Amino acid sequence: MSSPPQRRSCPGSEARATSTTPIADADTTAAADRSRYYWRRRPRLACSCWQPCRCDWRDRPSSKRVDGYRDALDHLAEQGLAGAALLPECRELWHRGGAERRLAEKTMRRWVA
């Protein structure tokens, strides 16, 4: 009966000594603490978001743009054509409710299906 094969050690798999010192760890900890402190101190945006780069409320279409999009969809529907499904405008139409919500749903169904 033979013994199970031995594992070979790969280069770099040996345990290595770390080069960090208690002073470096303290500096890293202090920097993280400062970062958290300033992060909490930041004021929220008007839309209640914390990060401007992730805020999707900033780039919302204006009501004039949404009204124009709605009118264009109505005109194209009269001609028997499907309008382009512009996601931000469709979202705004959906939030308005009523006939505009139904128009947004109909437009999205035409393009998604």
pLDDT on residue 104: 93
79, two tokens: 């001609």
Place 93 in a pLDDT band, splitting at 50, 70 and 90: very high
| Cα 19 from Cα 70, distance rounded (Å) | 63
Separation CA 28–CA 91 (nearest Å): 44
Specify whether the CB–CB gap between 49 and 55 falls below 8 A: yes
- For residue 96, the model assigns a pLDDT of 92
Tell me which DSSP letter residue 52 carries: G
Location of structure tokens 């009501």: 63
Q: What is the DSSP letter of 12?
A: T
Q: Which pLDDT does position 111 carry in this prediction? A: 84
Give the pLDDT score at 22: 62
Interatomic CA distance for residues 85 and 110, integer angstroms: 8
pLDDT in tens, 5-44: 665 555 555 555 555 556 667 778 888 888 777 767 777 7
Q: Return the SS3 of 110.
A: helix
pLDDT, tens digit, for every residue of 37-91?
776 777 777 776 766 676 766 678 889 999 999 999 999 999 999 899 998 899 8
